Structure 1
Amino acid sequence: MTPITLIARALKRERTKAGLSLSALAERAGLAKSTLSQLEAAQGNPSIETLWAIANALDVPFGFLFDTARPEMTLVRAGEGTQINAEGTNLSAVLLSNGPPGSRRDLYRFDLVAGAARHAAAHPQGTIEHALVSSGRARIGPADALQDLGPGDYFRFPGDIAHSYEAISDEATVFLAMEFPR
């Protein structure tokens, strides 16, 4: 199943669960109704920003938009997985694992390049992010508490306020776990 097909199915499911029309969801997410209509029809190529706006408007973790049946084991080798690119930067993210039913967490691998900061809007209230740098150096966190991290460094910070991720070496790989409130 393609990523856009997963998004289409999950978007319709979560929008229906929330009892929202396409117009109401579009207004909440600050998007055009036609954009949402195309996504529910499995058309288009949404950016990270579009998907985050939809997830925030639905009050669900980002990973819910890629929800699939969960096998007992999953193997994602380096360089594999569906990349999701951010608008205006070279950041790409790969959703490695979305939370199982009843869980509200996602796990990502971020591949960052120097000069391409990713500024993230606040996620739902109570969201916590856990960042672990595996290679390179990165500057991560809320604007008033940015931390310079190297390989093996871990940083836990509130994801419910605006924050950013930026490579301060040529490239950096960061593993990010996001915990969402129940």
Structure 2
Amino acid sequence: MTEPTIAATIAAALRHERERAGISLTELARRAGIAKSTLSQLESGVGNPSVETLWSLGVALDVPFSRLVEPPVPALRVIRAGDGPRIKSDQLDYTGTLVAAGSRAVRRDIYVMTIEPGAVRHAEAHTPRSVEHIVVAAGRLRTGPAGETVDLDPGDYATFAGDVPHTYEALAPGTFAVLVMEHP
């Protein structure tokens, strides 16, 4: 059995979560600050949303980002390096790859982030009480809440509130890190 495309996964998840929340397409677009036509295209499996658009939709639906991009999980799942649902940023050379999503009870997601130097990714606040845990695997990363960033080297760990604006910036080529998001 093959995994659905990322566009099909996002389309099904958006429709499901919007219907679960009992809101119209127009209302979700308003809450997320995106055009209704864009949301309609995404729910139809057309388009290539940025990580920022998906975060906005997740916040508007009060669901973790992972719920919008995670395909159904088989009994054994292996994601090889470079595979998995990859979501790019509009702001810089940044890719987030979801490798594991928490269940509805656990609400914990694991991502592999690849970032290249050249720009800063400004992340908006995520769902209330969310927490980010980051371990740098290669390169160097500057991250943290706006105004309280820290520089991390390979093997370094940092944690901070994800429900406040925060940033990610690669300080060396080939930077990648593992990000664990907790959603209470």
State TM-score, norm by structure 2.
0.94
Contact 2:143 2:167 (8 Å CA) reproduced: yes
Deviation at 1:79, TM superposition (A): 1.7
In structure 1, the residue matched to 2:163 is 160
Residues of 2 paired with 1:88 and 1:145: CA distance?
A: 20
**Structure 1 runs not aligned, ≥5 long:** none
In structure 1, the residue matched to 2:66 is 63
Deviation at 1:73, TM superposition (A): 2.5
Aligned partner of residue 169 in structure 1, secondary structure? coil
Contact 2:94 2:113 (8 Å CA) reproduced: yes
Matching of residue 111 in structure 1 with residue 117 in structure 2: no
The one-letter amino acid paired with 1:164 is T
Contact 1:70 1:100 (8 Å CA) reproduced: no
Match of 2:176 among 173, 176, 179: 173
Residues of 2 paired with 1:154 and 1:72: CA distance?
A: 30
The one-letter amino acid paired with 2:85 is T
**What is the percent sequence identity of the aligned residues?**
47
Contact 1:5 1:42 (8 Å CA) reproduced: yes
**Structure 2 runs not aligned, ≥5 long:** none
Residues of 2 paired with 1:68 and 1:93: CA distance?
A: 15
Deviation at 1:114, TM superposition (A): 0.9
Residues of 2 paired with 1:11 and 1:29: CA distance?
A: 12
Aligned partner of residue 170 in structure 1, secondary structure? coil
Contact 1:84 1:92 (8 Å CA) reproduced: yes
In structure 1, the residue matched to 2:30 is 27
State TM-score, norm by structure 1.
0.95
Residues of 2 paired with 1:116 and 1:171: CA distance?
A: 14
Deviation at 1:167, TM superposition (A): 0.8
Matching of residue 137 in structure 1 with residue 166 in structure 2: no
Aligned partner of residue 49 in structure 1, secondary structure? helix
Contact 1:131 1:176 (8 Å CA) reproduced: yes
Question: Which one is further off, 93-102 or 37-46?
Answer: 93-102
- Please show how residues 81-92 of structure 1 align to structure 2 within 5 Å: 81-92=84-95
Residues of 2 paired with 1:74 and 1:152: CA distance?
A: 26
The one-letter amino acid paired with 2:157 is Y
Residues of 2 paired with 1:82 and 1:16: CA distance?
A: 23
